[in-house]
Structure 1
């Protein structure tokens, strides 16, 4: 191999495979991807990368490898600041490096880097790694799940380029048409349930206030993006069930019947709150348009 001349794209692909390998530079050199580009052993790296006055060829590559992972860890910290706050910087760095080894970056965009982080936290022995209780581990998983959901809503499709359904438009719907009405949600609307009110903890961290791990309690949230700002609304179980079935595509009458069945709530109690809920949802710009009975 000595004296071989390598093409620029060969070197670029080889180096990317080497410095981004989750098990380190030596494993990267030995990887199939790197060997397909330049078949060199770890002992012969100097044939591709020359040494400097103070560093060997391997050490020079390790500088780039360390910088690569340091950058990815910082990106994860930027996406999951509340998780980082909850466990502390040192523990978060350990979790982040473990995650990057289990779920190496495969996308051209950093927006997908943390996509599997909540899943990773659910897969590992968090109680051992954090020296905390099972309840704290469950809190961390919920926390990461919501922070990731915020990122997805922020980066995903929205409705900023089209007017949402307004409260006034809802009021114009004839009363007799309401049971068959279908409300089409905006593309950014997401619903999620959690074991802890983690949204409060995230808000406290963002505002640099005193973030205290909350007491466990069933929490339902509607997350949406308006004017490129992610917003969330906490819902009780009945409006959450109703909104969930509306998003599924059920007409209002069917969604109400299903929500009553899900929550064992009586109709009169639900009906008394409908106007308030729809006013709140329309103000939050949850719906793009309404489909009246008979419309396709």
Structure 2
């Protein structure tokens, strides 16, 4: 390994775990004093700037979570998350991928489950925005399909589609803060379901789902066909209403642009 490569690795290791005395010794031997600024001070400037940049990434990706926590608690979160999960990806987009899990398991923050839910929702909004582009099917594609082929028809969805479920009022709180109003106190009375996607105008959207809609959508995502999903809807609707519910829901999905193509299995 070249000396330059060794120096780069030692410097990066110092940035990722600046509290380690051994890492400081390793890189301190490769850095000199300059213009009245000691090597230790120069290294600390770089380390502080690096951590500030990572904190700014957290603030950008999780703006509403930051508002929900307030400055003091968000600073606490940033410091502890940076220590627990040093950046390991080349893109800052992935830096906060572990944040929801951290909030669920940290001794302090796990006392407030809504925080992990808000963080997860914001991660999914980012994933929806970043999803690859593809064609979008139209409802006429289903209408022109021969009726005998419908039972074996399954769906493929736009890559931006994301699913979210939680027991807290995380999304409602997110919406309130986004609208610059005070959110309600956290509550965890019932399971909530949401779909998130990027529309044809490249705007991220989301909507709430009831349980039957959630089961219908996740079943199609898993590859189930029309016949299987109509049967699944019998848990909520009778034999006459179930196919109509499925058809009406499909029409809504087509209009939202979340269906990529029809597949006959």
Task: State which drifts further: 179-188 or 119-128.
Answer: 119-128
2:151 is matched with which residue: 172, 175, 179? 179
Aligned mate of 1:97, from 51, 61, 79: 79
Rg larger in structure: 1
- Aligned with 1:267: secondary structure? coil
> Runs of 4+ in structure 1 displaced over 6 angstroms?
none
Say yes or no: does 1:18 pair with 2:42. Answer: no
- Alignment partner of 2:24 out of 11, 25, 29: 29
Q: Distance in 2 between matches of 1:142 and 1:94?
A: 18
Equivalent residues in 2 for 1:201-220 (5 A)? Answer: 201-213=173-185, 215-216=187-188, 217-220=190-193
Question: Are residues 1:167 and 2:149 paired?
Answer: no
- In the alignment, structure 1 segments of 5+ residues that lack a partner are 1-5, 39-44, 129-133
Give per-residue Cα distances to partners, 1:146-185, cap 9 Å, x unaligned. Answer: 11111122223232xx2x1112222222333221111111
Cross-structure match for 1:138: 113
| TM-score where L is the length of structure 2 | 0.88
Per the alignment, residue 168 of structure 2 pairs with 196
Structure 2 gaps, min length 5 = none
1:62 and 2:44 matched: yes
Q: Find the aligned partners of 2:210 and 2:256 in 1 and give their Cα distance.
A: 16
Deviation at 1:109, TM superposition (A): 0.4
1:234 aligned to which of 192, 208, 213? 208
Q: For residues 140 and 221 of structure 1, what CA distance do their matches in structure 2 show?
A: 17
**Secondary structure of the corresponding residue to residue 165 of structure 1:** coil
Q: Is the 8 A contact 1:223 1:232 kept in 2?
A: yes
Aligned to 1:221: 194
Alignment match, 1:3: none
Query: How many angstroms does 1:264 deviate by?
Result: 5.0
CA 1:61–1:25: 2 relative to 1, 3 Å: farther
* Alignment match, 1:85: 67
Measured after TM superposition, the shift of residue 269 of structure 1 is 3.8
Deviation sequence 1:183-209 (CA, Å, 0-9, x none): 111222122211124223223333434
Say whether the 8 Å CA contact 1:19–1:25 is kept in structure 2. Answer: no
- Name the residue aligned to 2:98: 116
**CA distance 1:287–1:69, change in 2 (3 Å):** same
For the structure 1 residues 233 and 13, does the alpha-carbon distance in structure 2 shift closer, same or farther, using more than 3 Å as the test? same
Contact 1:19 1:62 in 2 (8 A): no
**Aligned partners of 1:149 and 1:127: how far apart in 2?**
20
Q: Mark the CA change 1:106 to 1:72 in structure 2 (over 3 Å): closer, same or farther.
A: same
Deviations 1:241-282 (A, max 9, x none): 01111111111111222343xx45433343342232111111
**In 2 relative to 1, CA 27–97 (structure 1 residues): closer, same or farther, beyond 3 Å?**
farther
**TM-score (structure 1 length as normaliser):** 0.79
1:214 to partner: Cα distance: 5.2
Higher relative contact order (CA 8 A, sep 6+): 2
- RMSD (Å) for aligned C-alpha atoms: 2.4
- Number of aligned pairs? 262
Indicate if the aligned counterparts of 1:46 and 1:57 stay in contact, CA closer than 8 A: no
